[in-house]
Structure 1
């Protein structure tokens, strides 16, 4: 993963830890914001996965929502590869794929073999402490590794290969990747439309995680900002506009779902 860049003024820590070339403040801002978004999105679906596991049900989620996201994840990864997008976009899409795959497994398992369980779903102090310790250790280990490897990279740059290039020279791959980035958009729209319609019909939100949708909203906003900064830096609007739509649509849809949480919970009281 450690690599060196063609220009000399690149960020050694990021090159050593993430294998990416970051040169100036704008480039660095896009990278940091994108990684904050990844962390947030990584956390986002866990509350829903946890809720499904505790209650032994996935009735709150419509299968169309999860399966449409799965298709979008696969198409998105292929498109990102063809267009040579930001490394952080690859990582985020992979996070989506893993989490959505787990949700799909839960839907298949719980709807075919178990019954709903009424149980306490709030996070207790012990569980919260364990999460905090795990996250802290991961951050510390990444920091230590990055510092040590960046020192080695500075002293012996010739030992490492050049970092991943963002330029796609193959016209066929560039066009195909761009088309696929737009193909993801209707699947995203279908996923959220199906979930919003289901929520409206049932007017029940107890089996959905408010934290998941609110965290998705925040992560989506940050990722959108990161993509916009990348567009400004590389002047690559044509390459990124499809991925931009894939982030903007969920932002709007998550706002709708959060409004449903507020309205339906208020009515139930």
Structure 2
């Protein structure tokens, strides 16, 4: 069709013809949530601000213990909600949300525990579209929680964080040639997911487990990961590790950052393992 139009001299259409209006119909990726929690009030990104990160504490208002298999976000103003972190306040991360991303439930037998009186911590990264930069823009997003049956073990999903050592001046960094850092599991665990949070673009990120017998167990390898596209990686098959197993992380920065876009997201380098205690 385009070839015919081009070979015909690129004729213009009828300027009086009104194009059909495109209407955006947002939908929950896993269907209607079991619990919807809306922000208490609209939050305005001021006229003077183009980008910001804001935190919200949302009461869950559950009367008894619930087990969460997935969490999603319905932006109130989709044009400014760039990404979000949904977690239980002072507890585990439930979801890393980005527009168009998948909402993946925890595997069978794994769930996050939501106790009565708990609150949901919602952190939203806002950034205005170029045609909104001179205006104040408000958002009132909604968190959606999906419940499941209690896991047979009765044990909830927990997290183990691995941070690089602090560099001179108190900041964590990987240097220009890459680095290896790690930590030991505090208890026996069934690893079900990994969440690398990056401070910059990398050539590669490689995560392995070293067992007490010296066996090397690959957990995750990423080629060319970027900090603005963070996500949780659920393992196809859980990996069981004994207490004291060492987790090693090898990061290799890019050799050339000249073509990389500026990233203003505020995340330090960290790798988090989500696991079920054994």
TM-based fold match above 0.5: no
Larger radius of gyration: 2
> TM-score with structure 2 length normalisation?
0.20
Larger % of strand: which? Answer: 2
Larger % of helix: which? Answer: 1
> TM-score with structure 1 length normalisation?
0.21
Higher relative contact order (CA 8 A, sep 6+): 1
